[in-house]
Amino acid sequence: MSTPNTVLVVGTGDTKGAELAYVAGVVRDRGVRAVVVDVGTTAYEQRPDVGSGDVGPGEVAAHHPDGADAVRLDDRGAAVGAMSLALEAYVRSRSDIAGIIGIGGSGGTALITPAMRSLPIGVPKVMVSTVASGQVGNYVGAADIAMIYSVTDVAGLNRISRVVLGNAANAVAGMAANPVLASDTDRPAVGLTMFGVTTPLVTRLVEVLSDRFDPLVFHATGTGGRSMEKLVASGLITALLDMTTTEVADLVVGGVFPAGRDRLDVVAGTRVPYVGSCGALDMVNFGAVDTVPAQFSDRLLHVHNAEVTLMRTTAEENVAFGEFIARKLNACEGPVRFLLPEGGVSLLDAPGQAFWDPEADAALFGTLEDQVVQTATRRVERVAHHINDAQFAVAALDAFEDVTAS
């Protein structure tokens, strides 16, 4: 297989042809091959055989799962969505991509970034956007996309846009021309989830595992779990120690760090060896204390810092968490162990600490034991220790040895 050598320069050529040509020129001036991909839906509707790029909108549209005509729509929003699907398929069809750079406003950003997210982690991805200084989580997702704020609108070349676009072009050209190897180790990668309140546990696990494995720790902030599972789906992680499933609490209750509804589906789909636990399911995350929704005003709150407020979960909520996790684990045919730390699920859930609530924990543990269909390869096990105790780490490592030996 040949080495990828091409940077795709993507945008709507009907409105941003000059900017696309400028970015491509800067990339080529750095000695890197650039291909302009025009995804303009207006130009495609009017003259589908013509575009301002090396690859016209008609060629991209032909990759739509329902054919090129699926992009030729009167409704602009629908046409943009259809072109986005076509672009994603087009990008996946190429094996020569050494990097990708997109330019656009809100519509262009929404059109281009799904194709970027479909590329493997490590392929350089740069998006110059008018919305890059705002909330960009929906655009970036679990991918390594670099968002660069355009400062001025992407509406012609001027003294500001030339610099911003030129810097972005230099960045993607530099990354494409100087690829970094992911790792020079032959140790298999293991994914671990961690929160500040489960750090002692995960730190112990990493210390023990590092001799034989390459531990990859993910911050359980919603995006962290999705990133970990994206790498599992890509075959880059060979086993999981999912100690901190707190993202499920935010999903069910409505916190700011929610898992996706597909959390744990990749474990079922890939049969990756899995050890999980209840880390930080005692809390739901919100922003500053004055942002906590009014319906939770009478709940037990803990100010973690000026920007993060934690809310203790109730027994009823823990039943819902258990039901969600049990449903996901029951779909798993690979080796699974789920550990229940009877001494508490976080630093705050311990005798004398703010979130100590044995009744809520018991509701969670009981639901998991009742609803997980246990088999020879899928088991729920109680551990008579706090999640951050050294003895719990030993139990987690024993379970890990068990599932990876299966």
Where are any strands of DSSP class E within 121-261? 125-129, 145-149, 189-194, 214-219, 239-242
Do residues 201 and 171 both lie within one domain? no
**Residue 184 belongs to a domain:** no
Q: What is the pLDDT of residue 111?
A: 95
How crowded is the C-beta side of 205, counted as CA atoms within 13 Å? 32
- What pLDDT score was predicted for residue 29? 97
pLDDT digits (tens, 9 = 90+) for 255-300: 999 999 999 999 999 999 999 999 999 999 999 999 999 999 899 9
- How far apart CA 216 and CA 383 sit, in angstroms, is 24
Considering the domain boundaries, does residue 1 fall inside one? no
Same domain for 159 and 24, yes or no, is: yes
- Predicted pLDDT of residue 41: 84
349 and 218 co-located in one domain: yes
Element (H, E) at 207: helix 199-209
pLDDT at 75: 80
Instruction: Determine the pLDDT at residue 406.
Output: 66
Beta strands in 313-377 (DSSP E): 336-341
Q: Are 364 and 318 in contact (CB under 8 A)?
A: yes
Is 103 found in the same domain as 16? yes
| 183 domain-assigned | no
Check whether residue 152 and residue 121 sit in a common domain: yes
What residues in the chain have per-residue pLDDT under 70? Answer: 1-2, 43-52, 182-185, 406
Final residue in a domain of this structure, among 119, 150, 177: 177
The verdict on 116 and 235 lying in the same domain is no
Q: DSSP string covering 85-127, please? A: HHHHHHHHH-S-EEEEEEEESHHHHHHHHHHHHTSPTTS-EEE
Last residue of a domain, one of 177, 197, 227: 177
**pLDDT on residue 76:** 78
pLDDT, position 121: 87
Residue the block writes with tokens 């790792």 = 183
- Is residue 30 situated within a structural domain? yes
Distances (CA, A) of 375 to 132, 179, 186, 270, 332: 48, 45, 33, 18, 11
Q: Looking at the structure, do residues 198 and 145 belong to the same domain, yes or no? A: no
- Does residue 121 belong to any structural domain of this protein? yes
Domain end call among 152, 177, 202: 177
Q: What is the pLDDT of residue 50?
A: 45
What domain count does the chain have? 2
Q: Which domain holds residue 113?
A: 6-177
Residue 116 domain-assigned (yes or no): yes
Residues 260 and 375 in one domain: yes
Are 158 and 240 in the same domain?
A: no
Position 215 in a domain: yes
Helix, strand or coil, per DSSP, at residue 245: coil
What pLDDT does 181 receive? 76
C-alpha distance from residue 45 to each of 17, 74, 102, 395 (Å): 17, 8, 21, 61
Q: Same domain for 326 and 226?
A: yes
Helix (H) or strand (E) holding 276: strand 274-277
What is the reported pLDDT for 45?
52
Q: Are residues 134 and 251 in the same domain?
A: no
CA 193 to chain centre: 13
pLDDT for position 15: 87
Same-domain pairing of 242 and 172: no
